[in-house]
């Protein structure tokens, strides 16, 4: 299995030339994958039966005779909207593989795959990956292969391949898969003028020398983001902001304020934010309530003169997305470091078009966290240390929130 995974990664994906481009693009179009949102006329939905589009045969078709009487315009049936979503645990149709043993293994690399562009073909997005298949224990002769795409809350059969087609695409002579030998479709690409993501699931059915029918499946995720490699993004401190809220312990009184961001950065690869850091200026703590700012910067609270900065660092990667997510990390304040989670309501590129491999793209991050100030030695007004404060007590929890604008370095 390890050799199989490595084999899939070693394949170099290069564009086909001449007539091969036409064939490859036809296959890619047949494998177009659904993305997020609702699109009323998706390209793949217009040819769900796998037939050849009229434009593909227009040059070779004989001219039609001039009709004696002009026909009335044909009525066009309305197109049912296609709703894209994530499959979750929804399985492929079980009747497809009823009574079969799972013995074939798929591997896609990379998976998930993000979009890229090609200067020779402006206006198009490419999801470049390869697909490998292997029979683990038996020699297997392929009977059928193909792929499903996920939309309208179910897997929908998109295309099937004959053994002859499979043999050519996967460089598998006679469609006979030798046990333990990976076979790779190197240029299994998707292309589209639109930038959208979705899911496909490849399948294969074959028969062993003893006559047993076996199968395998392999899901593939494509994202609605461009692949940037591993790039560093920096916080534009002039366009970013942070605020905080402190509350009384036993009354509804609360105080809001601001705090300046000194700097920040994030390392992004594909759709993953691998690392991130935000540095706050503790000497900038401000509130419109009289006397609060200076008191918060004093030794009673955050001792800004001695500990001028607070730092949040991510410890685990987090996925980019409009719905945000949770970033696990560490907060260092007053010389003390504690684990903390930051909830993002948004962590995404400003828009796919502006981020298309250029310097104009921006990443937006909006998040908040609540920390216990006494964990960092900020004990003033806390009933943990002064139990008799009654209505003068200050809550231990402090809410910190921020809106960041990051730009490619």
Identify the pLDDT of residue 322: 65
Interacting residues of 372 by C-beta distance below 8 A, sequence separation 6+: 396, 397, 398
Secondary structure class of 294 (helix, strand, coil): helix
CATH no. for 2-48+79-226: 2.60.40.1470
Q: What's the CA gap between 201 and 91, in Å, rounded?
A: 10
Identify the pLDDT of residue 34: 31
Q: At 135, which helix (H) or strand (E)?
A: strand 130-135
| Selection from 167, 234, 168 nearest residue 206 by Cα | 167
| Selection from 74, 80, 85 nearest residue 45 by Cα | 80
| Selection from 331, 332, 329 nearest residue 341 by Cα | 329
Residues in the chain where the model's pLDDT stays below 70: 1-82, 84, 227-229, 270-271, 322, 351-361
Q: What's the CA gap between 320 and 352, in Å, rounded?
A: 12
Identify the pLDDT of residue 227: 67
Q: Which DSSP letter does residue 49 get?
A: T
pTM of this prediction exceeds 0.75 = no
Please state the length of the chain: 409
Identify the pLDDT of residue 18: 36
Across-strand partners of 341? 328
Domain extent listing, the chain:
2-48+79-226, 230-408
Work out the burial of residue 27: count CB atoms within 10 Å of its CB; fewer than 13 is exposed, 13-18 middle, 19 or more buried.
middle
Identify the pLDDT of residue 362: 83
- Pairing relation of β-strands 394-408 and 230-235? antiparallel
Contact, 287 vs 246, CB < 8 A?
Answer: no
Identify the pLDDT of residue 228: 60
Identify the pLDDT of residue 27: 31
Contact, 304 vs 282, CB < 8 A?
Answer: yes
CATH for 230-408, options being 2.40.128.110, 3.30.70.20, 2.60.40.10, 3.40.50.970: 2.40.128.110
Interacting residues of 303 by C-beta distance below 8 A, sequence separation 6+: 297, 334
Contact, 293 vs 304, CB < 8 A?
Answer: no
Q: What angle do CA 50, 52, 56 make, to 5 degrees?
A: 150
Identify the pLDDT of residue 360: 43
Identify the pLDDT of residue 81: 67
Cis peptide before 112 (omega within 30 of 0): yes
Identify the pLDDT of residue 7: 40
Identify the pLDDT of residue 115: 85
């Amino acid at each position: 299995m390890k050799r199989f995974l490595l084999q899939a990664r070693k394949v170099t994906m290069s564009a086909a030339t001449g007539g091969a481009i036409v064939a490859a693009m036809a296959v890619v179009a047949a494998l177009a994958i659904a993305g997020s949102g609702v699109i009323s006329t998706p390209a793949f939905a217009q040819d769900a039966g796998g037939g050849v589009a009229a434009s593909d045969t227009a040059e070779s078709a004989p001219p039609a005779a001039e009709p004696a009487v002009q026909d009335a315009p044909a009525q066009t049936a309305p197109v049912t909207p296609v709703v894209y979503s994530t499959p979750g645990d929804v399985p492929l149709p079980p009747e497809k593989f009823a009574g079969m043993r799972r013995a074939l293994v798929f591997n896609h690399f990379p998976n998930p795959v993000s979009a890229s562009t090609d200067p020779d073909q402006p206006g198009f997005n490419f999801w470049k990956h390869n697909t490998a298949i292997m029979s683990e224990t038996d020699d297997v002769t392929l009977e059928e292969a193909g792929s499903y795409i996920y939309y309208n809350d179910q897997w929908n059969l998109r295309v099937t391949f004959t053994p002859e087609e499979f043999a050519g695409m996967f460089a598998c002579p006679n469609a006979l898969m030798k046990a333990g030998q990976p076979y790779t479709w190197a240029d299994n690409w998707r292309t589209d003028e639109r930038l959208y993501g979705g899911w496909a699931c490849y399948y294969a059915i074959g028969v062993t020398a003893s006559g047993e029918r076996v199968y395998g499946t392999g899901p593939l995720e494509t994202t609605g983001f461009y692949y940037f490699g591993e790039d560093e993004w920096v916080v534009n401190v002039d366009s970013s902001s942070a605020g905080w809220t402190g509350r009384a312990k036993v009354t509804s009184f609360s105080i809001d304020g601001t705090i300046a961001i000194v700097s920040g950065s994030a390392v992004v690869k594909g759709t993953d934010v691998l690392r991130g850091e935000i540095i706050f200026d503790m000497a900038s703590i401000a509130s419109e309530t009289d006397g609060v700012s200076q008191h918060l910067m004093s030794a009673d609270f955050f001792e800004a003169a001695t500990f001028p900065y607070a730092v949040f660092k991510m410890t685990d990667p987090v996925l980019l997305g409009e719905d945000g997510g949770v970033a696990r990390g560490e907060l260092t304040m007053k010389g003390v470091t504690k684990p903390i989670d930051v909830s993002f309501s948004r962590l995404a590129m400003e828009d796919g078009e502006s981020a298309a491999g250029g310097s104009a793209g921006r990443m937006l991050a909006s998040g908040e966290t609540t920390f216990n100030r006494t964990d960092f030695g900020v004990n003033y007004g806390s009933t943990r240390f002064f139990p008799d404060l009654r209505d003068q007590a200050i809550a231990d929890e402090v809410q910190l929130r921020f809106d960041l604008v990051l730009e490619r370095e």
